[in-house]
């Protein structure tokens, strides 16, 4: 996702600003050294709800964050806030507009001076959390009376100076959960998925939420009616019955590019390891035809590529389905379990009993979780290299541990 912008660093290092963002306030730190609060609801002169922007000065930005507000004042961009139609909210300042040039193209129409009961003896608020919430609340209070759905808590995050991201919009979950340094372990990797059927399409669904440098999709199938019942989401009739049929990887790229910006589709079958795989950092092997796996596995091992192979063995008996899901991790120095991967076709009912999408999702989830352990995202005591989930027992059994 690139280097962190000045705005984001300042917020991450300032407990009061980080608290505002975590609670859902749409804040930024502007290059002109102002905290910007967007999407502030207020009542306009006509008695309707409008949304403005609040600007609060920063005295200095250092390694410890933004420090304390220099005073109790703020600027506002929008029309002047009211209690109701025709009654200005004069407690926050004068309702005469002016041009306030705050620097670096930041401009406001009003200068506020609001001293609530939380002002200290020196005429300042304790921190930016108190200052911002006092100003926002007094405007929001009246906006809620007009429209109870009005809120400044959008949860949107967009910082000045951010470098290009893997995503079309910011991942706010990591910030709100305070795991940004942990999530950073997932950044910058190129991951390939071979086979975008039931399990492979769910692997993509999970990886699309990860800040990967690139996701590469390999599958020669066309998207058809049975795929719609194995893939995440709900495909439209237009996509299912398109003529000519859509390449499966092209369909999935289009869907998931709404979130992840770096997905590349290769609409052909993989029979050997070419440059597109050789330059990947990790490979998910999700092929449902074991015979096709052997040359790919051999090629990945020759290149010292880590990979995960997944598989399902489903059998119909006594009018029920049973069987197991397998996840096998292979990496340099840990290749012996590679021989547990089936490379000869077996008889099972998976191909004909396709309404088992929850098992596809579970198989993909186990595989992606194991990959995240590989990168140090998830904690582990003993690192397994193979695991099997048994449907009848509802149990995961692990083997081939690395205890080093």
To which H or E segment does residue 240 belong?
A: helix 237-240
Nearest CA among 150, 122, 116, 111 for reference residue 134 = 116
Output the CA angle 298-304-309, nearest 5 degrees: 55
pLDDT at res. 3:
45
Which tokens belong to 365?
């989830």
Sign of CA dihedral 225, 230, 231, 233: positive
Which domains occur in the chain, in start order?
6-146 (no CATH), 172-401 (3.40.50.720)
- Coil/strand/helix, residue 379: coil
Which tokens belong to 230?
């194995």
**Strand pairing partners for 317?**
320
pLDDT at res. 159:
77
pLDDT at res. 43:
97
pLDDT at res. 354:
56
The whole-model pTM stands at 0.70
pLDDT at res. 51:
97
pLDDT at res. 2:
40
Q: What length is written for the chain?
A: 404
Do 314 and 347 contact (CB within 8 A), yes or no? no
pLDDT at res. 60:
81
To which H or E segment does residue 278 belong?
A: helix 275-278
Q: What is the mean pLDDT of each run of 10 residues along the chain (404 residues)?
A: 66 92 93 93 97 93 85 96 95 92 91 94 93 97 96 87 72 65 89 95 97 96 91 94 95 96 95 92 91 89 95 89 93 78 62 74 97 95 91 92 60
pLDDT at res. 44:
97
86-89 CB contacts, 8 Å cutoff, 24+ apart: 86/45, 86/47, 88/45, 89/42, 89/43, 89/138, 89/139, 89/142
pLDDT at res. 226:
86
pLDDT at res. 316:
87
pLDDT at res. 404:
46
| Distance between CA atoms of residues 248 and 250, nearest Å | 5
- Coil/strand/helix, residue 191: strand
């Amino acid at each position: 996702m690139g280097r962190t912008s000045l705005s984001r660093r300042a917020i991450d290092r300032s407990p009061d600003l980080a608290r505002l963002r975590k609670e859902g306030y749409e804040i930024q730190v502007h290059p002109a050294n102002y905290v910007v609060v967007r999407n502030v609801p207020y009542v306009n002169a006509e008695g309707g709800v409008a949304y403005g922007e609040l600007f609060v000065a920063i005295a200095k930005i250092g390694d410890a964050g933004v420090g304390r507000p220099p005073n109790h004042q703020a600027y506002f961009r929008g029309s002047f806030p009211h209690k109701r139609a025709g009654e200005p909210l004069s407690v926050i300042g004068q309702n005469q507009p002016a041009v306030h040039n705050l620097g670096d193209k930041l401009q406001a129409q009003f200068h506020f001076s609001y001293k609530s009961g939380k002002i200290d003896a020196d005429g300042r608020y304790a921190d930016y959390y108190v200052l911002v919430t006092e100003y926002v609340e007094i405007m929001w209070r009246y906006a809620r009376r007009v429209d109870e759905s009005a809120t400044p808590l959008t949860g949107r995050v967009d910082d000045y100076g951010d470098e290009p991201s893997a995503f079309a919009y910011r991942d706010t979950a990591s910030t709100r959960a305070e795991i940004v340094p942990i999530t950073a372990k997932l950044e910058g990797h190129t991951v390939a998925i071979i086979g975008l059927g039931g399990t492979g399409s769910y692997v993509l669904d999970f990886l699309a939420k990860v800040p990967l440098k690139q996701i590469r999709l390999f599958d020669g199938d066309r998207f058809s009616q049975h795929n719609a019942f194995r893939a995440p989401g709900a495909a439209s009739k237009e996509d299912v019955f398109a003529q000519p049929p859509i390449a499966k990887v092209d369909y999935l790229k289009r869907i998931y590019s709404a979130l992840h910006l770096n997905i590349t589709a290769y609409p052909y079958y993989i029979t050997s390891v070419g440059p597109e795989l050789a330059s990947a950092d990790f490979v998910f092997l999700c092929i449902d035809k074991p015979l096709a796996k052997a040359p790919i596995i051999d090629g990945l091992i020759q290149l010292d590529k880590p990979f995960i192979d997944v598989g399902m063995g489903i059998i119909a008996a006594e009018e029920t389905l049973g069987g197991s899901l397998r996840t096998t991790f292979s990496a340099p120095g840990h290749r012996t379990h590679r021989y547990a991967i089936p490379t000869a076709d077996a008889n099972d009912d998976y191909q004909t009993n396709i309404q088992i999408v929850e098992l596809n999702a579970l198989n993909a989830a186990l595989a992606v979780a194991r990959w995240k352990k590989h990168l140090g995202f998830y904690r582990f005591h003993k690192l397994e290299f193979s695991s099997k989930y048994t449907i009848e027992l509802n149990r995961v059994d692990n083997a081939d541990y690395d205890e080093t």
